[in-house]
Structure 1
Amino acid sequence: MFAIKRTSTSCVSARLFSTTTLRASNIGSTPIIVPADVKVTVAPLDDPIVTRKGRTSLKLSKYATITGPRGELKLNLPDFLQVREKESKLTIKVKDETKKQQKALWGTMRALINNHIDGVVEGHMSILRLVGTGYRAQLEEKDGKKFLGLKVGASIPQGLFIPDHLTVTSPSTTRIIIEGIDKQQVRLFAAKIREFHPPEPYKGKGIYVDSETIKIKDKKIK
């Protein structure tokens, strides 16, 4: 009788489920067109900033200055990011594409730089709609500062002071237009206004940002 020799599973080599080669970030590797009236410069930070990103740390050792017709913006950059300009095209690269952190931030940093270039040329805008009976917005001044007053169903006065770097207009009592060169600040201020009364799903009342929509639910019957 012959003995059957069994091989241990630990001796079997691991199966490769993917044989594709490492690809560069589709967003990060796309060049940015720089208009003629925009200037982009990169300089080292005097005091580098080190922050925690999960289990790893991120070192911001330089910053980019984007100057255009509407103003100037600055953006801190990680030490592994490389920004090069040639023939009115900005190319964003990282030192090591195989590292997870660098590949993850590659497209993000490219998008931020592109948003800043668009901001100093055309600016960014966010439009808010107030939906509800008696809901309205009013621009006024408090303590010498611009203030956006809101009446959105609460029994007490509500509102926010408008930052100096943003322009807020109200063409009608139910419309608010926020403009600025920094997209992040424009959207952040819009989100703060929305917090006063987010859209509710039963009557559809609330503050809507840009093209935001919600699905109306049926009322609960007890």
Structure 2
Amino acid sequence: MQRRLFHSSRQILSHIGSSPVFVTPDVKLSSMEMLIPKVIPKGSEKIILNSLLSIKGPKGEINLQIPEFLKIDSTSNTSNIKIEINNEKNKIQKSLWGTYRSLINNAVIGVTDGHSSTLRFKGTGYRVMIEKDDKGINWVKMKVGRCNVEGLPIPENIICETPSQTLLVLSGPDKQKLNLFAARLRNMRPPEPYKGKGIYFNDETIKLKAKKVK
């Protein structure tokens, strides 16, 4: 069924997948076949992840599982990588084209410059600190309106800093793992809509509701 447009101009299509990924001489890419391919059902079709792309740089190394229909060309120009698919008319391949291009681009940026996220603590007595346990493992400890102190161990390759008692800065090469850890911390006390207390992710804002009147 054709989509109905309410304007006369032509619909603009996304060209993220065909955009090259720019790399620096410090970044090295290598690919190897997976011993056991991973099969993901997708309706009547399936996606087969059969190769592992390794991206190394000054900040670390990131491994990505790549589907069989994706082709990575880095031989024509050493300053950029071209991402291609086998069949541009295939709906699944075309929908994942831009996704994998973005994942590879984020990995290249991560091993070159790194990614960062911030958590802001808003509320009376809310604070965050970095402490080591008896085994020498660093933990993010938080006081967020409860009688006990909550927290999580800091994963490998993630750096946490506390410029102030109400601000936590996370940095690391893997954007997905970084934001996943930040989301787990935020879920311990998400912002509530009446007084605005809670943990805010990056530039997150909420609209306050009117107080309930009995």
Alignment of 1:120-131 (within 5 A): 120-131=111-122
Q: 2:92 aligned with 1:101, yes or no? A: yes
Displacement, 1:79?
0.3
Counterpart residue number, 1:62: 51
Q: TM-score, normalised by structure 1?
A: 0.87
Distance 2:126 2:175 in 1: 27
What is the identity percentage for the equivalent residue pairs of Structure 1 and Structure 2?
A: 44
Change in CA separation of 1:132 and 1:29 when aligned onto 2, cut-off 3 Å: same
Q: Does 1:136 align with 2:127?
A: yes
Cα offset for 1:48?
1.2
Compute the displacement of 1:210 (Å).
0.5
Match of 1:39 in 2: 28
1:7-86 matches, within 5 Å, as: 25-85=14-74, 86=76
**Structure 1 residue ranges, 4+ long, deviating more than 6 angstroms after superposition:** 14-18
Q: What's the offset of the Cα at 1:17?
A: 7.8
Structure 1 gaps of 5+ residues are 1-13
| Count of matched residue positions in the alignment of Structure 1 and Structure 2 | 205
1:212 alignment partner AA: E
Question: SS of the residue aligned with 2:194?
Answer: coil
Change (3 A) 1:128 1:15: closer
Distance between the aligned counterparts of 1:188 and 1:141, measured in 2? 21
Give the secondary structure class of the aligned counterpart of 2:31. Answer: strand
Asked if 1:171 is matched to 2:163, the reply is: yes
Q: 1:158 and 2:150 equivalent?
A: yes
CA-to-aligned-CA distance 1:53-86 (integer Å, 9 cap, x gap) = 3443210011111111111111010000010012
Instruction: Verify the 8 A CA contact 1:24 1:97 in the aligned structure 2.
Output: no
Q: Unaligned regions of 5+ residues in structure 2, if any? A: 6-11
Secondary structure (helix, strand or coil) at the match of 2:46 reads strand
Alpha-carbon displacement from aligned partner over 1:170-222 (angstroms, at most 9, x marks no partner): 11110101111000011000000000110111111100010111111111212
Tell me how far apart the structure 1 counterparts of residues 98 and 32 of structure 2 sit (CA, whole Å). 21
Measure the CA separation in 2 of the matches of 1:175 and 1:15.
49
Query: Structure 2 CA distance, aligned partners of 1:112 and 1:16?
Result: 29
Secondary structure at the residue paired with 1:37? Answer: coil
In structure 1, give the amino acid aligned to 2:156: D
Opposite residue 34 of structure 1, the aligned amino acid is V
> Aligned partners of 1:178 and 1:160: how far apart in 2?
13
The 2-side partners of 1:30 and 1:123 are apart by 21
| Structure 2 counterpart of 1:187 | 179
**1:73·1:120 contact (CA, 8 Å) conserved in 2?**
yes
1:132 partner amino acid? G
Q: RMSD of the TM alignment (CA)?
A: 2.1
| Larger CA Rg, structure 1 vs 2 | 1
* Structure 2: distance between partners of 1:152 and 1:57: 44
Moved more, 59-68 or 43-52: 43-52
Cα deviation for residue 16 of structure 1 reads 11
Deviation by residue 1:9-65 (Cα, 9 ceiling, x = unmatched): xxxxx99989xxxx9851000011111211122222122111223443210011111
**How far apart, CA to CA, are the structure 2 residues paired with 1:109 and 1:17?**
29
In 2, Cα distance between equivalents of 1:141 and 1:155: 20
Q: State the TM-score, normalized to the length of structure 2.
A: 0.90
